[in-house]
Amino acid sequence: MSLTIRVASSDDAGWIADIYAPYVRNTVISFELIPPSVEEMAQRIETTLQIYPWLVAEEAGHTLGYAYASQHRTRAAYKWSCDVSVYVAPAAQGRKVGTRLYQQLLETLAGQGFRNAFAGIALPNDASIALHERLGFSHLGTYTDVGCKLGAWHDVGWWQKSLSDTPGVPDEPVPFQQFRTSC
């Protein structure tokens, strides 16, 4: 597979919204209830890229998936941690697209100076759990009945991956826009 991983842009918002919409409408993988518009997705991409990476996977001109990081919590002491997500088009599932996207995403986050990556997984989701654990994430615990969607209550398990174990107070994480121009 000649997979290309690159940084997303707002021009990718249409196909990203197309991949994401069925997850929102038909599953509990996303806890959103209404799929975001192309304009909303473009704004999310632009906002995210200020601090965190948002990557896309392509092969032979076809878009296959995307992965991004986001703020873990709003309190200042959490700034060295982030949440991560990956979504793959149905036709590309089982081809290691998610693995490749996450590997690049996690490497970038470590380079920026983030210490931990967290992933919330709506349960059950054996494929997502397997992906995260294969990449070194460990299960921390589960929020029970935390979200109600599609007429039922759902649990969310939380997984963590350490990106650094450097002792002491680290430097501030480098915003993605600054990081990408320095590489």
Residue 1's pLDDT is what?
54
Q: Using a cut of 0.85, tell me whether the model's pTM lies above it.
A: yes
The predicted-structure confidence for 145-160, as pLDDT tens digits, reads as follows 999 999 999 999 999 9
Determine the average pLDDT of the residues in 41-54: 98
* DSSP-derived 3-state class of residue 110: helix
Strand blocks (E) in 29-137 = 54-59, 62-71, 81-88, 116-123
CA distance 85 to 147: 18
What CATH number corresponds to the domain at position 98?
3.40.630.30
Instruction: List the domain range (segments joined by +) for residue 158.
Output: 4-182
The predicted-structure confidence for 116-169, as pLDDT tens digits, reads as follows 999 999 999 999 999 999 999 999 999 999 999 999 999 999 999 999 988 888
Q: Scan for tokens 């590309």, then name that residue.
A: 92
Mean pLDDT of the chain: 96
If one counts the domains in the chain, the total is 1
The predicted-structure confidence for 51-88, as pLDDT tens digits, reads as follows 999 999 999 988 999 999 999 999 999 999 999 999 99
Tokens of 86: 């990956």
pLDDT above 80 for 41: yes
* DSSP-derived 3-state class of residue 105: helix
Contact at 8 Å (CB) between 174 and 110? Answer: no
Diameter of the chain measured on Cα atoms: 48
